[in-house]
Amino acid sequence: MHFRTIARLGRFREVIVTLLKYGFEDLVQRLEFPGIELLKKGFKEGKDVGTYVRIKHILEELGPTFIKIGQIMSLRPDLLPPDLVKELSKLQDQAATVDNGLISAILEKSLGGSIDQFFSEFNQTPFAAASLCQVHRAVLKKEGIAVAVKVQRPGIKRLMEVDLDILKAIADRLHERSTELKIYDLPNLFRVTRRNLLKELDFFREAKNMKIARSYKPDVYIPEVYLDYCSERVMVSEFIEGAALSEPSLNIADPHTIAKQGLNTAIKQILEDGYFHADPHPGNIIYSTEKGLCLLDWGMVGRLSERDRYDMIDLIRGIVEKDSSLLMDTLLRITAKERDVDDRALEREISEVLDLFFSGPIKGLNIGHLLLAITDILREYRLKLPSDLVIMIKALVTAEGTARQIYPELNVVTEAQTYIRKIASKRYRSEILWQAVKRAFFKFVAIQKDIPVRILRIADKIDRDELAIRFRHENLESLNHTLENISNRVAFSVIIAALIIGSSMIITTGIGPLFFGYPALGIIGYLISSLLGLWLIVIIIRTKKY
């Protein structure tokens, strides 16, 4: 039997046992996989804490793949309940260190030579260890620069592939057998999550993400990366001496300025650059006395097109200016509808949220929480935001929370208003408008060039009798049914009339046999036509179609 098949069976048992341990027997029951009944024996439901807390414990216990998936799903408040998102955001990504020999083997294979060839110093003890990797301090021999060497943990990719196979089977089975879970489209959700997870395993991609982010000249510092030493399993970047914002002992000389700088950087990345860090939580940000705020861990980034950025400007402007109409118009423009929406009811709910939001002191307002509240409303109305915009909202929420952790008195609304006005004014500058006009003109020219070719294709198909026009009528079934009923009744009435006329003609002939002096055949015709006429009247009265 193939190793991966054996590993999958053992790991699947571990997943099921963990679900049972934390009281999710009903979920396990729905899977209906062979052998599950045997695993269920002897388990007591562990429901001492809430459902969402138990989900967090399950992910932590099942290890790296599940922790990472939980962290990725914490970026999707459009799909998950707010309390579950809050619990998933608490997932801790920590792990024991790996044997030095294994790490050295991975590093030397990636570099194509011994560690001594490339580093004049290499500290075998990592200064950070997580579920996917561990990080060592070193000094590049050629450049003489202190660097952080991020090395992927051995076997992590194989483990994740096994876990992802199991999760795919579970997602497909639950989608088939659970009506209430169908709205989440678990197979599609799994595909998106799997893609994002595998991106985080590619350290060379992360290095390029950092290069791109540096090219936008942000106000915070992003360490330099050395691509010549990077690969899918190893990343070498500039070493920054400092402390993470999550450190309780951190002391910042001017917290107000630093908090503003961090928040404005997040807004700039989202609304100006369209290229942003997807998870700027305190653990991913270092404060250095020399460099200031330093943004690390670029494994997951978000991208917004120019159109998306303008939509986000309108969205945030609608919030900070308390313009429910602008907010409503923007939301309806950017969301995908799964069903008809009651626009008035939706606008009323959004207005209520805005009123509650602005009912307290301005400096205490939290734009991120308002965006999450609006996301909850959209989920109730089955309005889907594009995934990049959802990730952007979560990134903004995280950045706002991080800025407030540095300086709790930060007036986020004032900062956002100032920045939004600045960006909005750029949007209508003459050179920007001229670029938009040029793009529209060239698009129009391209369409004009394409039209004659398309017309010739249509004409050619007509000549070859290959042009087929397909049309489909909608909502005409009831009309078709009505016409059928009318035609049936008319035909029935004509038959009854013919029977009456024929019977009358027979009655006048006096042809035998006679019944009470009248032709029996004529009397039978009258009786049949009377019964049919009575039946037709009853049908008309019962259907109330008269």
pLDDT at position 237 over 70: yes
Most confident by average pLDDT, 13-22, 112-121, 167-176: 112-121
Whether residue 293 contacts residue 244, with contact meaning beta carbons closer than 8 Å, is answered with: no
Distance, first Cα to last Cα, the chain: 75
- CA dist 267 and 399 (Å) reads 9
Rounded to whole angstroms, the maximal C-alpha distance in the chain is 131
Average pLDDT value for residue range 426-436: 63
Q: Is the dihedral of CA 270, 374, 380, 193 positive or negative?
A: positive
3-state DSSP assignment of residue 120: strand
Packed helices 186-200 and 64-73: angle between N→C axes, nearest 10 degrees: 110
The per-residue pLDDT for 348 is 87
pLDDT at position 139 over 60: yes
DSSP characters over 360-381 = S-GGG--HHHHHHHHHHHHHHT
pLDDT greater at residue 508 or residue 148: 148
pLDDT tens digit sequence for 362-414 = 666 777 778 888 888 888 888 888 888 888 888 888 888 888 888 888 888 88
* pTM for this prediction: 0.71
The secondary structure element, H or E, covering residue 514 is strand 514-515
Whether residue 399 contacts residue 292, with contact meaning beta carbons closer than 8 Å, is answered with: no
